[in-house]
């Protein structure tokens, strides 16, 4: 056994196999945070983002309210249009008369009972029933009575 072989086994442990070669440089930026912002700056950035999200939330809520308002308006127009279609005399009455008509003509025990039946049975069955009734009666005998005529009677 030669001296070279023995030195290999008893060589100091802190030597690396790349001992004669240039070592890679370790930079401090690898261990430092990428930003050197202060805590106050970070807090200010987060506050700005919170404000942006709050404003975005407000815009989304405004869009939702607008969509709900449009849907409600559309529903009201359709339903009142149907009411005027079947009762054309409603066009000529005042708001007070219309309110009185709703309270005394529709918002009655029978009206609420009928609405409950319509909701529970389904619109299709009631629609078939109404169309059969209209066909058999000829829609009020072919005559339409105006609100003025009915109040005179």
Specify if 98 maps to a domain: yes
Specify if 6 maps to a domain: no
How many structural domains compose the chain? 2
Counting Cα atoms < 13 Å in the Cβ hemisphere of 103 gives 6
Q: Are the beta carbons of 147 and 89 closer than 8 angstroms?
A: yes
Specify if 72 maps to a domain: yes
Specify if 18 maps to a domain: no
- Are 44 and 84 in a shared domain? yes
Q: Are the beta carbons of 125 and 118 closer than 8 angstroms?
A: no
Q: What local confidence, expressed as pLDDT, does residue 130 receive?
A: 73
Specify if 105 maps to a domain: yes
Q: What local confidence, expressed as pLDDT, does residue 151 receive?
A: 43
91 Cβ neighbours under 8 A, 6+ residues apart:
84
pLDDT band, residue 105 (cuts 50/70/90): confident
What is the tens place of the pLDDT at every residue in 1-44?
Answer: 455 555 555 555 555 555 666 666 666 655 555 657 889 999 99
- Are 45 and 72 in a shared domain? yes
- Are 45 and 84 in a shared domain? yes
Residue 93 has pLDDT above 70, yes or no: yes
- Are 54 and 83 in a shared domain? yes
Q: Which two tokens stand for residue 134?
A: 């209209």
Inter-CA distances, 52 with 32, 57, 80, Å: 30, 9, 42
Q: What local confidence, expressed as pLDDT, does residue 141 receive?
A: 45
Helix (H/G/I), strand (E/B), else coil: 49: helix
Q: Provide the domain limits for residue 126.
A: 93-135
38 Cβ neighbours under 8 A, 6+ residues apart:
none
Taking phi first (over 0 means left), then psi (-120 to 50 degrees means alpha), and beta for anything else, what does residue 141 get? left
Q: What local confidence, expressed as pLDDT, does residue 58 receive?
A: 97
pTM: 0.48
Q: What local confidence, expressed as pLDDT, does residue 22 receive?
A: 67
pLDDT band, residue 120 (cuts 50/70/90): confident
Q: Higher-confidence residue: 31 or 77?
A: 77
């Amino acid at each position: 056994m030669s001296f070279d072989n023995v030195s290999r086994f008893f060589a100091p442990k802190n030597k690396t196999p790349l001992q004669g070669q240039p070592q890679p440089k370790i930079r401090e930026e690898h261990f430092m945070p990428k930003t050197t912002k202060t805590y106050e700056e970070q807090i200010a950035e987060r506050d700005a983002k919170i404000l942006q999200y709050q404003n975005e939330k407000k815009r989304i809520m405004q869009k939702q309210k607008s969509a709900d308002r449009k849907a409600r308006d559309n529903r009201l127009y359709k339903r009142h249009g149907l009411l005027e279609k079947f009762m054309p005399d409603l066009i000529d009455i005042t708001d007070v008369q219309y309110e009185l008509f709703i309270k005394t003509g529709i918002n009655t025990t029978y009206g609420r009972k009928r609405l409950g039946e319509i909701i529970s049975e389904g619109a299709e069955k009631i629609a078939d029933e109404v169309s059969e009734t209209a066909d058999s009666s000829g829609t009020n005998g072919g005559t339409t009575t105006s609100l003025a005529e009915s109040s005179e009677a």
